[in-house]
Amino acid sequence: MKKLISILILGIFVGANSSTVFANPPVAPFYASLQNMTPSGQLGQVIKKESVQTSVKGAQAWRIAYISSDFGGKKTIVTGLVVAPKGVAPKEGRPIMTWAHGTTGAAQNCGPSQVLDPVVPLNEYFLIGGNSWTDYGIPAVEEFIQEGYVVVATDYQGQGGGGRHQYALASTNSMDTIDAARAASFMKETGAGKKTIVYGWSQGGGVAVAAASMPEYFSKKGTAADNLELVGSVALAPDDIAIMLPGATVDQASAQKSLSGLIQMFTGNVFDFSHMAMSMWGVQAANSKLKLTDIFTDDGAKVLDEVISNKCMHAFADTLNFNFGTQYKTLLKPQINNPLEWTKTMVNGSVNPIKPIAPVVIYWGNKDTTNPPIMGKLYQEQMCKMGGNVNRVELPGNQSHFTTPGASKPFYLPWIKDRLAGKPATNNCDLAAQLPS
């Protein structure tokens, strides 16, 4: 009976929309003009900008579009925000804080820069005080402006600048975040220098750890702003897909087992399933050899592609919940096709197994069920063995995934100030194996 109900619901949902052609969701003129442009220029080159009003005291802000690339080397147009102090910058230039946001969705209108008043402190959908359909804003932006830092916040590719968002592929998202720092340095109005801190939460936490292991991308020449100096990465509740797929690229059987296990881990409820489905959509966007129908049923792939392309995260999850209820797993195939190509793409697009070029600190909460803290623990163990400087800090109290940004701010603000002052960073690598997950 349950299977019949699921089939009927799916038929109604698909049938009701089968005669309708869905374009990308509407976006403001700034973003609409970018949708069909060909990416051309240096990495970090700002190709369009407009002033944005902000209530942050002593700040000036811009909405920007700039050139970046994905981990396959394809150039992209990415949008975002730049916020800088007013007044004359010091001779050495202002430090750059490049923010990597958490999951907002994969449609063209899901970039945080697109909300009506984007240059504010972090404003979360799930928390009391949230006032939007999405997470937006920039953590500690007021404190950073008061300290004289330049803050830049990427939307990631596919979230306003055209193309498809490679959600959960940390390498691509890191390139967007690094090139955002180049864009801030490229803009003479900001007074930005070269010293750079990457900080991010959730999806962006994965970006923060991934960026620290991208020495070749930081050292590229011929960009809009060469010689950025990464002095630290702050990861709030990060993910690391590759660390959860050991041995997954050996052969088809290993890939099948690993990928099936990963999918199973993130299908306990419709909210987690939505994140997993969007992750697979993002991986497929990066590799033309992959098909959504490798993992999802034919009808499931059609539904997911349509909804992910048109709705941001929370609306996407609500849509699945409304139409499928507890039957959302019926969108999955019982057996994955082409698993080795999937796992290779996921691992190659994740955190590089390279010693971090700057100190990394991870902040996590004991009640985080969205990004299992074991990912951060395994990441730390991996990088410590390579000689990396990685500190992993459990936040006081019972902190969830969504309280982590606020609870961690009193800790990362002085940590960042010390890195910019050139002070050595302590780590707990020696205790990593004994620390809780």
Are 257 and 298 members of one domain? yes
Are 214 and 283 members of one domain? no
Read off the pLDDT band of 430 (50, 70, 90): confident
Percentage of residues of the chain with pLDDT beyond 90 = 92
Q: How would you classify residue 230: left for phi > 0, otherwise alpha for psi between -120 and 50, otherwise beta? A: beta
Read off the pLDDT band of 435 (50, 70, 90): low
Whose CA is closest to 254, among 337, 335, 340?
340
251 belongs to a structural domain = yes
Are 334 and 380 members of one domain? no
How many Cβ atoms sit within 10 Å of the Cβ of residue 341?
18
Classify residue 127 by burial, with Cβ atoms within 10 Å: 0-12, 13-18, 19+: middle
Are 41 and 180 members of one domain? yes
Q: For residue 59, is pLDDT > 70?
A: yes
Q: For residue 432, is pLDDT > 70?
A: no
353 belongs to a structural domain = no
Are 110 and 204 members of one domain? yes
Residue carrying the six token digits 């990631």: 156
| Farthest CA pair distance, the chain | 72
Residues 251-289 have pLDDT tens digits of 999 999 999 999 999 999 999 999 999 999 999 999 999
Classify residue 215 by burial, with Cβ atoms within 10 Å: 0-12, 13-18, 19+: middle
Residues 16-48 have pLDDT tens digits of 343 334 457 999 999 999 998 999 999 999 999
Q: For residue 12, is pLDDT > 50?
A: no
Residue 199, both tokens: 């900080």
Last residue of a domain, one of 347, 372, 394: 347
Q: How far apart (Å, rounded) are the C-alpha atoms in residues 121 and 13?
A: 38
State if pTM tops 0.85. yes
C-alpha torsion angle, residues 280, 368, 207, 354 (rounded to 10): -100
Residue 277, both tokens: 């489905």
Read off the pLDDT band of 433 (50, 70, 90): low
Q: How far apart (Å, rounded) are the C-alpha atoms in residues 89 and 85?
A: 8
Residue 266, both tokens: 């993130």
Are 22 and 37 members of one domain? no
Supply the angle between the helices 313-324 and 2-17 in degrees, to the nearest 10.
Answer: 130
Residues 321-364 have pLDDT tens digits of 999 999 999 999 999 999 999 999 999 999 999 999 999 999 99
Are 295 and 364 members of one domain? no
C-alpha torsion angle, residues 397, 400, 405, 409 (rounded to 10): 10
Q: How far apart (Å, rounded) are the C-alpha atoms in residues 346 and 35?
A: 26
Are 329 and 299 members of one domain? yes
Are 225 and 294 members of one domain? no
Task: Give 430's DSSP letter.
Answer: G
Question: In which domain, by residue range, is 213 found?
Answer: 33-240+359-431
The domain that holds 106 is classified in CATH as: 3.40.50.1820
CB neighbour burial string for 395-421, b if at least 16 within 10 angstroms, e if fewer: beeebbbbbbbbbbbeebbebbebbbe
Are 208 and 282 members of one domain? no
Report how many domains make up the chain. 2
| Cβ–Cβ < 8 Å for 362, 388 | no
Residue 29, both tokens: 């003129």
Phi first, then psi, for residue 48 (nearest 5°) are: -160, 145
Q: How far apart (Å, rounded) are the C-alpha atoms in residues 161 and 171?
A: 18
| Cβ–Cβ < 8 Å for 166, 137 | no
Residue 159, both tokens: 């979230």
Whose CA is closest to 221, among 41, 355, 42?
42
Are 332 and 185 members of one domain? no
| Cβ–Cβ < 8 Å for 190, 137 | no
Last residue of a domain, one of 313, 347, 381: 347
Are 141 and 46 members of one domain? yes
Q: Which amino acid is at 151?
A: V
66 belongs to a structural domain = yes
Q: How far apart (Å, rounded) are the C-alpha atoms in residues 135 and 68?
A: 23
| Cβ–Cβ < 8 Å for 271, 322 | no
303 belongs to a structural domain = yes
Q: For residue 71, is pLDDT > 90?
A: yes
